[in-house]
Amino acid sequence: MVLEDEESDTSVLDYGINEAEVNTAINIELGGKLDLSNLPIEVAVKNASTLPAEEFAKIRRNGFGGSDSSILLGVNPFKTLRELIIQKASKEISAEEKAIGQLSAVRKGNDLEPLIITKSSEALDCKILKPDDMYRFKDFPYLTMNFDGVAQLPKGHKYAKFANHHGYVPDEIKVATVKGQKSYNPAVAIYSEARLYYGVDPWQLNLLPLNEEQLKSWPVEKKAEYYGIPKYYYTQIQQEMMALDAEAGFVSALFEVDWQLHIWFIYKDPVVWNSLKVEGFKADIEVSKLKERQERAGI
């Protein structure tokens, strides 16, 4: 609950802590700049996460981010590639886009992200950064990236061998709603708070999934099912791994029903990486063509 302070315009929490100061503290603790040396990405927009919602939506027009990856690869059940191309070519933010930010699931995800990052950081025993900038790939500028979280694994960490030379591994942060959690399989998560309630180690005994050569030939849907995460997050975490040049990544989801955190481990998928580069290039050409037609038509 938030109350208005009678002596100022700033809100205070009902137990007496200034909300603005809390948010600032969260940004200091979880924020940070990535060391981009020898990484395939560069800063596209500084401090993008601090922009107003509509302005942020507009800068996302310039390229295909991680949330677009599943649409590029044809595994998104909510939006078609044609719809995405039309959206990227549009200069205005539609009423539908504006409404998305007000959806309870979206607001819940935004509000709970710092909490999930903290819980994931404690479980993985590492610092998790929340970069403020928007990035783009140097060689494939039509692909962009905003990170939910970047785990910084020190030398000696049990997963350090999967990180890049900076120790970075992406950590995709999610809230799994009642409906959404049906697309996850906690039984194959490497970490699950649910196991604590059965008096067992929350870490999976066979810590990591297999990384067999035959997996590379599987369709995205089957790969996602194997790892235990939604197909549209499988492509997203792959684009994040590609941006960090990491060998693996994490998906950390807090289940709404039982309020328990689960963490999945996913290996890099070169097949998906290459597909994103190719399909992103083709989609970018279509966006450019549509923009040209609109300019000629005076739209």
pLDDT at site 101 = 64
Based on the number of CB atoms within 10 Å of its own CB, is 90 exposed (0-12), middle (13-18) or buried (19 or more)? middle
Residue 36 is which amino acid? Answer: L
Residue type present at position 146: N
pLDDT at 206: 64
> What is the rounded radius of gyration, in angstroms, for the C-alpha atoms of the chain?
20
The confidence score (pLDDT) of residue 281 equals: 98
DSSP secondary structure, the chain, as one string? -EEE-TTSSSEEETTS-BHHHHHHHHHHHH------TTSSEEEEETTGGGS-HHHHHHHTTSSB-GGGHHHHTT--SS--HHHHHHHHH-SS--HHHHHHTTSHHHHHHHHHHHHHHHHHHHHHTSEEE---SEEEESS-TTBEE--S-EEEPPTT-TTGGGS-TT-EEEEEEEEE-TTGGGG--GGG-SEEGGGGGGTS-SB-SS-S----GGGGGS-HHHHHHHHTS-HHHHHHHHHHHHHHT-SEEEEEEEETTTTEEEEEEEE--HHHHHHHHHHHHHHHHHHHHHHHHHHHTT-
Can you read off the two tokens belonging to residue 290? Answer: 């549509």
Q: For the chain, list the domains and their CATH numbers.
A: 1-30 (no CATH), 37-296 (3.90.320.10)
The confidence score (pLDDT) of residue 100 equals 67
Distance CA 272, CA 242 (A): 10
User: How far is Cα 51 from Cα 72, in angstroms, rounded to an integer?
Assistant: 26
Judge contact between 231 and 240, C-beta under 8 A: no
Which one, of 50, 73, 31, lies nearest residue 236 by Cα? Answer: 73
Confidence (pLDDT) at 110: 80
Q: Are strands 127-129 and 260-267 parallel, antiparallel or unpaired?
A: unpaired
- pLDDT, one tens digit for every residue, the chain (299 residues): 333 333 333 333 343 444 444 444 444 454 578 999 999 999 999 999 889 888 998 999 999 999 999 999 999 999 999 999 999 999 888 777 776 666 676 777 788 899 999 999 999 999 999 999 999 999 999 999 999 999 999 999 999 999 999 999 999 999 999 999 999 999 999 999 999 888 889 997 667 998 988 898 999 999 999 999 999 999 999 999 999 999 999 999 999 999 999 999 999 999 999 999 999 999 999 999 999 999 888 87
